[in-house]
Amino acid sequence: MGVKSMKIIRSPKEMAEFAKELKANSQKITLVPTMGALHEGHLSLVKKAKEEGGICVVSIFVNPTQFGPNEDFAKYPRQLESDFKACENEGADVVFAPSAEDIYAPDFSTYVNEETISANLCGKSRPKHFRGVTTVLTILFNIVKPDVAIFGEKDAQQVSVVKRMVRDLFMDTEIKTVPIYREESGLAMSSRNRYMDPLERKGAARIYKALCEGKRISDSGCTNVDRIKAAVINSVSNAKTRVIYVEIVDSETSLPISEVVPGKSRISMAVWYGQIRLIDNILI
């Protein structure tokens, strides 16, 4: 059974029934979970999903439970019609775009929480963020029943959290990743980049340059995490860029390490660039 033209599904019940039908016909399902405002980085995930074969489902859902009280949920970019067109142009088979009311009942009270990896890095300054991520992904996985789910490596800690959740809860979904998609300047593509004008985007490229400086020091043979972190912080900091964290972590688990293991380590960083929170990382 094939899907001849892209379907847009809003109802979780309809999506679940369609997924059940696909499974009954031995169709592989690959899910690309997104919050919309799609850019080339997202579309690289769709390309990867298409390579998997079977049916490519892109979910578009701005998930309220992963935003803190003073974060940008209300102004997070939403552009459903252009997202639908982008997905169709990329060959997606299904777009699942439920509303918050479709996903969360008024008295919703059940959460999924990974408690080790999510406590570090972004979890320190966004304490309930990953609880929202793991909860909504559990919901999406239950509805869509994907054999494979595709994530971008820009959100490396999220990938580590999701892999741990899938392992610990015996979820029947394989997690695959796609490398960070960067603008010409080196700035990691993000839906939040559209908050910046071209000059600000150019300035924000210093984040990637700082990571490259850390990698350069590591490549020269340095395994001292404090020295590498200090170099990255020194390189990125200026009047407009305030460091939230720079950490050197295990590339698989995203947990802090005391010494760099070449090829198995990652420099992870979050900064406030003006009023915009940006994250990035690089393998070392």
Q: Catalytic amino acids?
A: 42
In a domain, 2, yes or no: no
| 139 and 269 assigned to the same domain | no
| 236 and 143 assigned to the same domain | no
| 130 and 42 assigned to the same domain | yes
| 230 and 106 assigned to the same domain | no
User: Which pLDDT score, from 0 to 100, does residue 4 have?
Assistant: 60
If one compares 232 and 5, the residue with the highest pLDDT of the two is 232
> Given 151, 178, 205, which residue is the final one in a domain?
178
| 18 and 132 assigned to the same domain | yes
| 173 and 255 assigned to the same domain | no
| 240 and 117 assigned to the same domain | no
Which tens digits make up the pLDDT trace of 36-74? 999 999 999 999 999 999 999 999 999 999 999 989 999
How many C-beta neighbours within 10 Å does residue 84 have? 19
> Does residue 99 sit in helix, strand or coil?
coil
CA distances from 264 to 18, 19, 55, 82, 207 (A): 40, 37, 33, 38, 21
User: Which pLDDT score, from 0 to 100, does residue 6 have?
Assistant: 97
Q: How far apart are CA 246 and CA 215, in angstroms?
A: 13
Which tens digits make up the pLDDT trace of 189-226? 999 999 999 999 999 999 999 999 999 999 999 999 99
In a domain, 143, yes or no: yes
Report residue 244's pLDDT band, with 50, 70 and 90 as the boundaries.
very high
DSSP class of residue 189 equals P
In a domain, 139, yes or no: yes
| 135 and 199 assigned to the same domain | no
In a domain, 184, yes or no: no
Residues contacting residue 63 through CB under 8 Å, at least 6 positions apart: 35, 100, 103, 132, 133, 136
Average pLDDT of the chain?
Answer: 96
Q: How far apart are CA 277 and CA 72, in angstroms?
A: 10
> Given 178, 210, 244, which residue is the final one in a domain?
178
74: containing domain: 7-178
In a domain, 146, yes or no: yes
Residue 1 has pLDDT above 90, yes or no: no
**Number of domains forming the structure of the chain:** 2
Residue 233 has pLDDT above 50, yes or no: yes
User: Which pLDDT score, from 0 to 100, does residue 70 have?
Assistant: 86
> Given 131, 150, 178, which residue is the final one in a domain?
178
pTM listed for this prediction: 0.96
CA dihedral defined by 199, 200, 203, 207, rounded to 10 degrees?
-150
| 15 and 145 assigned to the same domain | yes
Which tens digits make up the pLDDT trace of 89-143? 999 999 999 999 999 999 999 999 999 999 999 999 999 999 999 999 999 999 9
| 170 and 210 assigned to the same domain | no
Least confident of 2-16, 203-217, 239-253: 2-16
Helix (H) / strand (E) element for 59: namely strand 55-60
| 133 and 203 assigned to the same domain | no
CA distances from 165 to 16, 77, 173 (A): 21, 28, 11
| 173 and 195 assigned to the same domain | no
Q: How far apart are CA 153 and CA 282, in angstroms?
A: 9
Kindly state the average pLDDT of the residues 7-15.
98
Helix (H) / strand (E) element for 178: namely strand 174-178
CATH classification of the domain holding 224? 3.30.1300.10
In a domain, 183, yes or no: no
Residue 168 has pLDDT above 60, yes or no: yes
Q: What angle do CA 162, 163, 168 make, to 5 degrees?
A: 95
User: Which pLDDT score, from 0 to 100, does residue 165 have?
Assistant: 98
